[in-house]
Amino acid sequence: MPSDPLPSEAALRERQDLLVRELAVEQNSVRLQVLSDELEAIQRQLEQRRHP
């Protein structure tokens, strides 16, 4: 089974923006942690692309 292609930088940045907006209004602490973890993972991917 082939692996899924990596998302483009534009797609990562779009998801990053969405997560930041969701974090700004989320009240549930469990959901906040999930969003925060995903945002951190996306930021790591973007950083790796800048400094391969």
CB proximity list for 30: less than 8 A, separation 6 or greater: none
Report pLDDT for 6: 83
The tens place of each residue's pLDDT in the chain, 52 residues long, gives: 557 788 899 999 999 999 999 999 999 999 999 999 999 999 999 999 888 7
Burial status of residue 26 (CB atoms within 10 A of its CB: 0-12, 13-18, 19 or more): middle
38: Cα separation from own chain's centroid: 5
